[in-house]
C-alpha cells in the first residue's frame, strides 16, 4: 500500500516550482518575485532561471528572502542537447546545489556536441534535485524523448505560462504513456512565471511536510507527498478494493483515470465527499484522480499504484 499523505504529520504548504526573474528572461528582480508570491499567500517558491551562458548560468540566490513564514528552494531550468525535434531540452531541477556544474550551452540553440538532456537530468538528480520534465506539450516532446529522461521524478502536467502564452499547458498524455510502461512518476503543476503576461498564481503544488523548510519540502517532493492544483483542495483519498473515496473542497466532477481509455467520472453540485467505483480498472496497474470545481479549475493526485 502506498503512503496515505493525508494522514502524515505536518501540514500542506503551497508552492510554485517554476519561476523566472531578471537573472534570466523574467521581468521582475528576485526580491520582487519572492515578495509577490509571499503576498499572494504562497509558503514557498523555487526560482528557476534559465541555466545557460546567455545569463551567466544562474542558480539564483534567494536565501535572503526567507523568513519565518516563507521559504525558497534553490533551482534552475536546465538546458542541453537536442530533443527529437531539434530544439533544446528544458528540464526543471528544484533543490540544486549553488555550485552545480553547467553544461556548455551558450544560448537557446542546441548543438550536436553538447551534453545530452538525459545526462544533464541524471547529474541534477545525483546532485540532490527534484527533477521534472518541463512543459511537454509546449516543447513538442515525443514519448521517446520523455522516456529517455530516466532520472525524472515527475512530469509537469500543467504549466500556467504555457496556458496563457500559447494554449499548450499540459503533459498528461506524456505522463500516462510512461505510467503505462511502468515508470513510477509523479506529477506537478507550475506557473513558469515571467510576469510579462498573466502567467503567475495559476498552478501550484501542495506539499505535505512537518516544516516549511527547503530540506523538508524537498524530501517530501521526492517522496511524492504532494498533489497539484489550479484551485480546488484535496483533503483525503481512501483507496478500497472496489472504490475510492475522495474528500475535497466543493467540486462538480471527480474523475478517476487509468491506462488506455479507462476512466470513470462522477458529476454533481458542490460535492465534498465522492465515491467512485473501480470496476472499470481491473486491468490498470495505476490510477490517478482529477477534480474540477464550478469555475473549471482542477486538482490532480499523484498516481496510485495498485
Q: For residue 1, what pLDDT is reported?
A: 45
In sequence order, the 6+-apart residues with CB closer than 8 A to the CB of 158 are 169, 170, 171, 189, 190, 203, 228, 230, 298, 300
Matching residue, cell 499540459: 170
pLDDT of residue 2: 67
Neighbours of 68 (CB within 10 A): 6
Q: What are phi and psi of 186, to 5 degrees?
A: -105, 175
Query: Do 226 and 220 touch, CB atoms closer than 8 A?
Result: yes
Break the chain into its structural domains and give their ranges.
Answer: 5-229, 234-305
The reply to whether 5-229 and 234-305 are identical in fold is no
CATH number attached to the domain at 234-305? 2.60.40.10
Q: What is the pTM of this model?
A: 0.97
Q: pLDDT > 70: what percent of the chain?
A: 99
pLDDT digits (tens, 9 = 90+) for 148-170: 999 999 999 999 999 999 999 99
Domain 5-229 is found in CATH 3.40.50.1220: no
Amino acid at each position: 500500500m502506498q503512503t496515505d499523505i493525508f494522514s502524515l504529520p505536518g501540514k500542506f504548504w503551497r508552492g510554485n516550482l517554476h519561476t523566472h526573474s531578471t537573472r534570466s528572461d523574467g521581468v521582475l528582480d528576485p526580491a520582487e518575485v519572492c515578495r509577490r508570491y509571499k503576498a499572494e499567500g504562497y509558503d514557498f517558491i523555487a526560482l528557476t532561471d534559465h541555466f545557460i551562458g546567455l545569463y551567466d548560468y544562474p542558480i539564483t540566490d534567494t536565501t535572503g528572502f526567507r523568513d519565518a513564514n516563507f521559504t525558497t528552494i534553490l533551482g534552475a531550468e536546465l538546458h542541453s542537447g537536442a530533443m527529437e525535434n531539434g530544439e533544446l531540452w528544458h528540464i526543471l531541477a528544484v533543490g540544486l546545489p549553488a555550485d552545480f556544474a553547467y553544461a556548455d550551452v551558450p544560448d537557446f540553440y542546441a548543438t550536436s556536441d553538447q551534453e545530452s538532456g538525459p545526462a544533464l537530468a541524471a547529474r541534477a538528480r545525483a546532485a540532490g534535485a527534484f527533477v521534472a520534465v518541463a512543459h511537454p506539450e509546449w516543447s513538442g516532446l515525443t514519448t521517446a524523448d520523455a522516456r529517455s529522461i530516466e532520472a525524472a521524478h515527475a512530469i509537469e502536467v500543467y504549466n500556467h505560462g504555457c496556458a496563457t502564452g500559447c494554449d499548450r499547458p499540459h503533459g498528461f498524455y506524456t505522463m500516462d504513456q510512461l505510467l503505462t510502461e511502468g515508470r513510477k512518476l509523479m506529477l506537478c503543476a507550475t506557473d513558469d512565471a515571467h510576469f510579462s503576461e498573466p502567467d503567475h498564481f495559476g498552478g501550484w503544488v501542495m506539499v505535505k511536510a512537518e516544516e516549511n523548510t527547503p530540506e523538508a519540502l524537498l524530501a517530501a517532493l521526492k517522496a511524492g507527498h504532494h498533489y497539484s492544483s489550479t484551485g480546488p483542495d484535496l483533503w483525503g483519498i481512501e483507496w478500497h478494493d472496489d472504490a475510492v473515496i475522495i474528500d475535497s473542497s466543493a467540486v462538480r466532477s471527480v474523475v478517476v483515470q487509468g491506462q488506455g481509455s479507462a476512466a470513470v467520472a462522477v458529476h454533481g453540485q458542490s460535492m465534498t465527499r465522492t465515491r467512485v467505483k473501480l470496476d472499470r480498472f481491473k486491468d490498470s496497474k495505476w490510477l490517478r484522480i482529477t477534480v474540477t470545481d464550478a469555475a473549471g479549475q482542477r486538482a490532480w493526485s499523484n498516481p496510485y499504484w495498485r
